[in-house]
C-alpha cells in the first residue's frame, strides 16, 4: 500500500520528504493541504492518533493567527484549529492505511520504511 504525504508543496521539509520517498522508490501520494483540505473527520482521526502531541506546530504563524494558547489544547480545539488553518500542522505528516506514521521529516525513520 502506498504512503500518503500531507503538506504544502513549497515547504522545504515537505520537499525533503518527497525527494527521499522518490529516491528510495517508496510509492506515495502527495496531498496538498491547501488544494485538497482534510475533512473534520480526517483531522479528528489524525489528532486521535497523535499521541506525541506534535501534529500542530504551535510556533507557526498559521497557528498564531488562531489566537489559541500553545499549551493545553483539547482534541476538539485541535481539530478546529486545523480546519481553520491547515498549515498549522507540523509538516509533513506521513500516513499508510489511514495510520499516522510520522509527523515531520526524520531521515532515519523514513530510511527504516525503505529497508
Annotated catalytic residue within 1, 3, 9, 11: 11
Q: Is 52 a catalytic residue?
A: no
Q: C-alpha distances in angstroms, 115 versus 24, 45, 51, 58, 105?
A: 10, 27, 25, 33, 17
Q: Where are the beta strands (DSSP E) in the chain?
A: 3-7, 28-32, 93-96, 99-103
Torsion of CA 106, 24, 6, 94, to 10 degrees: -50
d(CA 80, CA 93): 18
d(CA 110, CA 95): 12
Tell me which residues are annotated as active site. 11
Amino acid at each position: 500500500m502506498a504512503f500518503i504525504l500531507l503538506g504544502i508543496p513549497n515547504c522545504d521539509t515537505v520537499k525533503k520528504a518527497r525527494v527521499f520517498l522518490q529516491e528510495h522508490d517508496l510509492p506515495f501520494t502527495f496531498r496538498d493541504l491547501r488544494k485538497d483540505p482534510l475533512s473534520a473527520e480526517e483531522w479528528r482521526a489524525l489528532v486521535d492518533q497523535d499521541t506525541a502531541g506534535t501534529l500542530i506546530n504551535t510556533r507557526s504563524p498559521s497557528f498564531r493567527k488562531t489566537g489559541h494558547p500553545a499549551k493545553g489544547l483539547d482534541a476538539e480545539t485541535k481539530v478546529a484549529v486545523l480546519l481553520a488553518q491547515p498549515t498549522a500542522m507540523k509538516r509533513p505528516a506521513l500516513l499508510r492505511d489511514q495510520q499516522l506514521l510520522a509527523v515531520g521529516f526524520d531521515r532515519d525513520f523514513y530510511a527504516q520504511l525503505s529497508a
